[in-house]
Structure 1
Amino acid sequence: MELDIVPFDSCSKEYQNLYEEWFNYADADGDGRFTGNEAIKFFAMSNLSRQELKQVWAIADSKREGYLGFKEFVIAMQLVSLGQCGYSITHDLLTSDAMRHAKPPIMDGLDVLLTKKKRKQKDKELSVSPPHPSPTSKWFTAKSAKKVPASSVTSIVDGLKRLYLQKLKPLEVTYHYNDFVSPLLTNSDFDAKPMVLLLGQYSTGKTTFIKHMLKSSYPGAHIGPEPTTDRFVVVMSGPDERSIPGNTIAVQADMPFSGLTTFGTSFLSKFECSQMPHPLLEHITFVDSPGVLSGEKQRTHRQYDFTGVTSWFAAKCDLILLLFDPHKLDVSDEFKRVISSLRGHDDKIRVVLNKADQVDTQQLMRIYGALMWSLGKVLNVPEVMRVYIGSFNDKTINDSLSGPLGNELFQKEQDDLLSDLKDIPKKACDRKINEFVKRARAAKIHAYIISHLKKQMPAMIGKAKAQQKLIDNLDTEFVKIQKEFHLPPGDFPNVEHFKETLSGYNIDKFEKLNKKMIQTVDDMLAYDVPNLLKTFRNPYG
């Protein structure tokens, strides 16, 4: 089972040097990003049709970020070359022999332009622009984010950062959104690679699944029939193999884990980052979790908010895999709380019935039915959740139990799951837009709640009594807000969790409703986000 997400660039060193020279010329502002406007000028020299160039851009910019890095630029050039040779430009070319042997395309007039540039840069040595630290990182430390010019936005993610700092963050800060719902976003939150979260009881094969995907072990991986993973482990790309303690990783500005500091030292001591160089980890980050407790073990309470941590990761992740073992189908109380904490992220959840080759076909049918029944009681949704059946490890499938029918089923299911995983990097930018819009709507509702509670407080006496009454009847107040502003009940936060946080605040000190801020966020969702997507769509339509 192989997960080849991005084709490996196999062009010769000679061609690579030529492409470096071309990239440096095409990237007019030298920021390491070949944008749509730059592409229109540069690709015109290929004399391909607009429709062909549209396909070239769509395939090369597979993540839909609105620009090409050097690697994607090389892929685009190889596609242009094949287009000039008469090939139909499709995704299938990426894995073809023709792609591996493609020569540089003919670009009319490029040699003359390069000669002119060389004359101007006689004393300068051409080299590909190294990956720059994102200039947008300075936006989050600047005294005034309002000074960020629109011209400095060169991708969809940059645009989201600018919109967040200028229009959404002021609303979040004013109404304490970061204390009640989610920490304020940082530059690294926007730039983070897509993440896959694995949840399940102990010994359901979470760590083995990650090793199976990587085709190798990783620092800190332990496997056994007993609970072996006693901490949250983030498996991500790095220059060498090493484990970084949680307290260290949480304070690194270039890592998207600063929000975990709110769970305290007890959690951070049970959190670590495992880094290693691996082609798959350049595109996806895996999050392994401790086994969910069941039976007698549930009586031993964890020293940190396990459900809160899973909820935090669920909001950040692009895909959530719930792993089950055919012999461990019971959904414990802790597992119920964990699944409930995933509310609002249903579109990310996939269920994996692992180790399915340990039972015969008849038993597997019964187990599948029992699993769906158990999940139906916990999830309380009419839709049937997607369940992948297989044996995700490096061992040979047990033919004596599963039989030829089982083998065929497992292979198809694994292919389907692989297809889901392959789509993660391609959909990463779309997911960021989706999460940004969800956050903006949640921040608006939070502002309505906070301002409504403030409005109910008396002007002079009896404030403490009025506050306690509001907290006790918070569910009733939620209904009032829903009716007043015509808001869907499903978008409101968990009442009990909100009560718990609210009890530590003085409601009288909250801000009144700022209609101008609300209107700014409404305009952002109605006009700014669509315009951003329009600006960085395929330059050829």
Structure 2
Amino acid sequence: MEIGSGPIGPCTKEHQKMYQEWFNLADSDGDGRITGNDATKFFAMSKLSRQELKQVWAIADSKRQGFLGLTEFITAMQLVSLAQAGHELTPEIHKIAGIAQPQPSTQWFPSKSVKKLPLNAVTSIIDGLKRLYMEKLKPLEVTYRFNDFSTPSLTNSDFDAKPMVMLLGQYSTGKTTFIKHLLRCNYPGAHIGPEPTTDRFVVVMSGPDERSIPGNTIAVQADMPFSGLTTFGGAFLSKFQCSQMPHPLLDEITFVDTPGVLSGEKQRTQRSYDFTGVISWFAAKCDLILLLFDPHKLDISDEFKRVISSLRGHDDKIRVVLNKADQVDTQQLMRVYGALMWSLGKVLNTPEVVRVYIGSFNDKPINEAAVGPIGLDLFEKEQDDLLADLVDIPKKACDRRINEFVKRARAAKIHAYIISHLKKEMPAMMGKAKTQQRLIDNLEEEFAKVQREFHLPAGDFPNVEHFREVLNGYSIDKFEKLKPKLIQTVDDMLGYEIPELLKNFRNPYD
């Protein structure tokens, strides 16, 4: 049997049926996923060279998930047909040949019934991370109460969630308009105006129909990655909602619209929930964080400083957008850009220059009279760069999951060392309360001792003030002693099991 000579571009019903049959044939486990082993057996029938099949897999599995779903498989089959016809396979082949890029939103066929896999059946990198978390990392987190000091325990929905992009900025910097601009339509619950219109956190995500779901409802849904937000209480959940709508972009990315950061007198009115804590929680889950500024609002208020500080550890996700830049002329824009870089330099505390995109992200045409021909060309290039950054997010989502998982494992390990060290410093009988207070007061010193004893990098240690605040609510004497076996299990996971997992799901033709 030889496979190939399938259609290129849009599929007819006959071709769809043929691809479905081939997919069923290649999917040995019947789990709706074609793994490397399945692929090597099935694609061998194409009579293509190993190098050509390596390119087929690399282009089809653009998200590096380690398997092909139905849509990725169809792309692979179309690439096989192109290679058989003598075309050279390059990453740009989609544009040249008009192949539909893999998009889970494109339901060409009724979804095949997928068997529920047991925990030990690993058919993707994400499955592997779930298993490693449950078996290796979670026991350490639970033993040393890592979840009380950091983010809550992970659930399956945290691993399966779509990539998220969070927008931050003062009111009227164009956050909601930016999302609307990308979607090219309004989403449920979107309000736009010069006054602070968005007074709540709004998650804009894919759904079967247009509707708004209240925060309390969405936080208890097991298939949503927002259960951890219940720790911020009812005051926050009443200011949280989910807007769902069917949209191809939302099938790839979820957006988080946030309330405008307060400035001036308004900062004196305290919010009824931990605003900075919520931002920090979302920052850990997000793949990209966009800080939006407008040429007339360059001042960074105290609350904005606290918000940016809470993004510590997520610097690689931050992008800055100077929005509404067509409201000033070229000379003013140059001064505004310089002032913004100066302000950011004082707040971000990094020697590297942060990436700033300049543009006007709304549905109105750019004000060419103000920016001139040079400015117009600059705006178009900057907007293309930002859109390219957003398009890359789904492709890098799997790599980001691995990165966040490893980061969490390292943080949990350091947390265990700190907790067990504090426990060891407590007396056996008398003076426990006095010793606990001394340890809490001198927490920086205790962190330094742990760092020296276990040769740990200082940059990986948690925020001292936050740690002290949480620690005040606990009796250190009740904590667990150091359990080297738990630490060794996590070390083995980081040193051997994660690299082995990645090796098993790399390109099967490497």
Q: Same fold (TM over 0.5)?
A: yes
Structure 1 moving runs of 4+ over 6 Å: none
The count of aligned residue pairs is 495
Tell me the amino acid that sits aligned with residue 43 of structure 2. F
Q: CA deviation at 1:96?
A: 2.8
CA contact (8 A) 1:20 1:128 kept: no
1:130 to 112, 121, 126: 112
Give 3-state SS (helix, strand or coil) of 1:352's partner.
strand
CA contact (8 A) 2:178 2:362 kept: yes
CA contact (8 A) 1:9 1:71 kept: no
Matched, 1:323 2:292: yes
1:15 corresponds in structure 2 to: 15
Do the aligned partners of residues 46 and 128 (structure 1) sit closer, same or farther apart at CA in structure 2, a change above 3 Å counting?
A: farther
Give 3-state SS (helix, strand or coil) of 1:512's partner.
coil
Please, what TM-score do these two structures have when normalized by structure 1? Answer: 0.90
CA contact (8 A) 2:206 2:254 kept: yes
Matched, 1:403 2:361: no
Please, what TM-score do these two structures have when normalized by structure 2? Answer: 0.95
Q: CA deviation at 1:282?
A: 0.5
CA distance in 1, matches of 2:371, 2:54: 47
Matched, 1:255 2:224: yes
Q: CA deviation at 1:91?
A: 2.0
1:63 corresponds in structure 2 to: 63
Give 3-state SS (helix, strand or coil) of 1:281's partner.
coil
Tell me the amino acid that sits aligned with residue 444 of structure 1. K
CA distance in 2, matches of 1:290, 1:129: 38
Q: CA deviation at 1:95?
A: 2.2
Q: CA deviation at 1:134?
A: 5.8
1:287 corresponds in structure 2 to: 256
CA contact (8 A) 1:30 1:129 kept: no
CA contact (8 A) 2:55 2:89 kept: yes
CA distance in 1, matches of 2:216, 2:115: 24
1:145 corresponds in structure 2 to: none
Tell me the amino acid that sits aligned with residue 398 of structure 2. C
1:81 corresponds in structure 2 to: 81
Q: How does 1:203-242 map to 2 (within 5 A)?
A: 203-242=172-211
Matched, 1:457 2:426: yes
Give 3-state SS (helix, strand or coil) of 1:135's partner.
coil
Do the aligned partners of residues 83 and 458 (structure 1) sit closer, same or farther apart at CA in structure 2, a change above 3 Å counting?
A: same
Q: CA deviation at 1:11?
A: 1.3
CA distance in 1, matches of 2:113, 2:504: 23
Q: CA deviation at 1:342?
A: 0.1
Q: CA deviation at 1:94?
A: 1.1
Q: CA deviation at 1:311?
A: 0.2
CA contact (8 A) 1:212 1:393 kept: yes
RMSD over aligned CA atoms reads: 1.3
Tell me the amino acid that sits aligned with residue 394 of structure 2. P
Q: CA deviation at 1:130?
A: 2.2
CA distance in 2, matches of 1:308, 1:257: 14
CA contact (8 A) 1:54 1:540 kept: yes
For residues 312-364 of structure 1, what are the alpha-carbon distances to aligned partners after superposition, in whole Å with 9 as ceiling and x for unaligned?
Answer: 00000000000000000000000000000000000000000000000000100
Tell me the amino acid that sits aligned with residue 536 of structure 1. F
Tell me the amino acid that sits aligned with residue 112 of structure 2. P
Matched, 1:178 2:160: no
1:274 corresponds in structure 2 to: 243
CA contact (8 A) 1:319 1:350 kept: yes
CA distance in 2, matches of 1:514, 1:128: 50
For residues 441-485 of structure 1, what are the alpha-carbon distances to aligned partners after superposition, in whole Å with 9 as ceiling and x for unaligned?
Answer: 000000001000000100001101111111111111111111111
Give 3-state SS (helix, strand or coil) of 1:91's partner.
coil
Do the aligned partners of residues 321 and 133 (structure 1) sit closer, same or farther apart at CA in structure 2, a change above 3 Å counting?
A: farther
Unaligned runs of 5+ in 2: 1-7, 101-108
1:378 corresponds in structure 2 to: 347
Unaligned runs of 5+ in 1: 1-7, 101-126, 137-147
CA distance in 2, matches of 1:407, 1:133: 53
CA distance in 2, matches of 1:489, 1:337: 22
Q: How does 1:449-488 map to 2 (within 5 A)?
A: 449-488=418-457
Q: CA deviation at 1:132?
A: 3.4
Q: CA deviation at 1:129?
A: 5.4
Do the aligned partners of residues 188 and 134 (structure 1) sit closer, same or farther apart at CA in structure 2, a change above 3 Å counting?
A: farther
CA distance in 1, matches of 2:244, 2:117: 25
Identity, % of aligned pairs?
78
For residues 11-44 of structure 1, what are the alpha-carbon distances to aligned partners after superposition, in whole Å with 9 as ceiling and x for unaligned?
Answer: 1111111101111111111100011100001001
Do the aligned partners of residues 162 and 387 (structure 1) sit closer, same or farther apart at CA in structure 2, a change above 3 Å counting?
A: same
For residues 65-102 of structure 1, what are the alpha-carbon distances to aligned partners after superposition, in whole Å with 9 as ceiling and x for unaligned?
Answer: 010110111000000001111111112221234547xx
Do the aligned partners of residues 133 and 345 (structure 1) sit closer, same or farther apart at CA in structure 2, a change above 3 Å counting?
A: farther
Q: CA deviation at 1:131?
A: 6.0
Tell me the amino acid that sits aligned with residue 425 of structure 1. P
CA distance in 2, matches of 1:133, 1:506: 46
CA distance in 1, matches of 2:475, 2:298: 45
